[in-house]
Every structure is written in C-alpha cells, then in structure tokens.
Structure 1
C-alpha cells in the first residue's frame, strides 16, 4: 500500500526531470551553439502572416535531393559559412560526421514530402507583424550533433529584427 502513496509524486518528478533536461539542453545549444544564417525562401504572401506567426521556408531546403521513399528521410546538410556567418551548401550526408574543421552539419527531416530545417514558423506577439516582414535570414544556433534552434530573424542587411 505504501508504494501507491509514492507513485504519483514519483511519476511527476520523473516528468519534470525529463522536461527540465530538455530545457537545459536547448539553453546550452543557444548559449554554446555555432551561429549560422540561413537565407529565407519566398513564401506565398497570402499565407505569410497568419495571426501571430510567420510561415518560414529556407532556401537550403531545395538542396536536399528527392528520394523514392521520402516519407521519413533524415540526413544532414553540410555547410560552410562566410565571414558574416551566412551558410552555403557543400553536400548532403546521412550523419553529422565526417566533416572538415570549417564545415557545419545541420540536421534535416523530410516528412510528407517536405524538407524541414529547424522550424517552419516564427512566433511573435500580436501586432508585431510589420516588424518581421523584412525578414530575409534566419539566425540559428547549431550544435556539434547537427541539432539547431532558430533564435532570430534578420533583414537583408543582416540586422536583427
């Protein structure tokens, strides 16, 4: 009977530990990840602003070759950065390694025939749509394992919006 008394608190503690580990991992990525800028691809202007988010697409997503069975294809874009940290495509490979010292791996996923790099939306406060309309670059923090987080949007002059 005593084990029942500890089941709910123990389960809650486990859930909180897992959630907090995920948060700590993402905070570490934002703090320690490599900065890379990905050019945004044009998005249908009729769906660009929908409420409190902006639909995003990245130009580098077009570099991922189409495969016969792309329902659950995953891989890594290998990138190089210029002096302003803008990414250029080098190659696609199935793992984050091997790569040269100046190359960066960015994980991608293909779901439903669409390539996903990090996120396909940028959320912002209500009434802030005009602030983000000039966005032309997505600023990411990328870990050594290829995982990335979108942390900011930048305009054509690379100024943070």
Structure 2
C-alpha cells in the first residue's frame, strides 16, 4: 500500500473516531445530564430564510451581564472573546433555575448548584443554543414557550433538550421535566 493511502485511511479513521466520541458524549449528556430550566424572553418565532424556528433569548444571560457590570467586580471576571465563564444556578421552588453567582475556571459548584459553562463572544455571554428549530406549522405551539430545558453534564456542558410552556411542561412531547425518567 502507498504511504499516502495509508495516511489518508488513518486520518479518516481518526476523524470518525473523534466525531463518534463527541456524538456519544452529547447523547450521554442528553440522557443523564442534570435538568436546568431557564426562563426565556419573548422573541419572534419565524424566519423566512430558515423556516420555522424560535430565536432564544435567556433572562439568565441578562443577569450575567448585569452581574459583570457591577462596580467593584473582580477584574479576573472581566472576560475577553473566547473566554469561558462559569455560571452557577439553583432551582427555585417551581424548578426554574436562578443565577446565584458567576465565576472563572478556579471556582467549583456547591452541592446544591448546577454549573454551566458560558462562552464569551462579541462582548457578551452566550449559551450553546440561541435558536430552536421545529416543524413547519408548529409555530403557534412553540410561541407559547416560556422556558428552555437544558441537560447539563458534570463538566458544565449544557445541551438544549427542548422548550417548555408556562406550566413548565415540554412542548414537543408534553412531558413535564420533573417526570423524566432516570
């Protein structure tokens, strides 16, 4: 076999292994991650170019920005583009996540907190999902969304699992987040 062909095959196999590992890790987070229910701010659910979707705007992002703008904030928490901060949340009695604090890489979650990695992009904090796409014609149902349900891995990786209505019931399958199986 030619060295080029061997190198190509090895590179392709390595690429497939890495991609498979990422998919498996995300599937594990969606299946076993801790639930985090974040309140949404209203946004228009239609795009002519992309089809039906909802642009997501989170109240928690505004709270993080406000926290970082407070006078006397620790200068180590002044992020640059590409930096990752840690936002810590506790669920309120209704199960909705409330921001408790913001930290950097040296800060760990307390036992009653859920830590989420927040990326700093373009001068503002960003969660991993800013849009939620749904089937054409379902816009009316999804326009009722008041919450986004994330599943969060132990390392703070958060994946959007669905949208929930005012009663905190998932819109897509009408199963309350608290009723999700193990």
TM-score, normalised relative to structure 1: 0.88
- What is the total number of aligned residue pairs between the two structures? 158
Could you say which residue in structure 2 is the equivalent of 1:142?
152
Say which SS state the counterpart of residue 46 (structure 2) adopts. Answer: coil
- Report the CA distance between 1:6 and its aligned residue: 1.6
Could you say which residue in structure 2 is the equivalent of 1:52?
52
- Report the CA distance between 1:130 and its aligned residue: 1.6
Distance verdict in 2 for CA 1:82–1:96, change over 3 Å: farther
Two-structure CA RMSD over aligned residues (Å): 1.9
Please list every run of 5 or more consecutive structure 2 residues that lacks an aligned counterpart in the other structure.
70-76, 172-182
Distance 2:82 2:21 in 1: 26
Please, which moves more after superposition, 52-61 or 90-99? 90-99
Q: Do structure 1's residue 38 and structure 2's residue 38 form an aligned pair? A: yes
Q: Do structure 1's residue 27 and structure 2's residue 23 form an aligned pair? A: no
Distance 1:154 1:102 in 2: 23
Distance verdict in 2 for CA 1:97–1:6, change over 3 Å: same
Could you say which residue in structure 1 is the equivalent of 2:88?
78
Could you say which residue in structure 2 is the equivalent of 1:123?
133
Distance 2:35 2:55 in 1: 21
Distance 1:19 1:88 in 2: 34
- Asked if structure 2 preserves the Cα contact closer than 8 Å seen for 1:75 and 1:92, the reply is yes
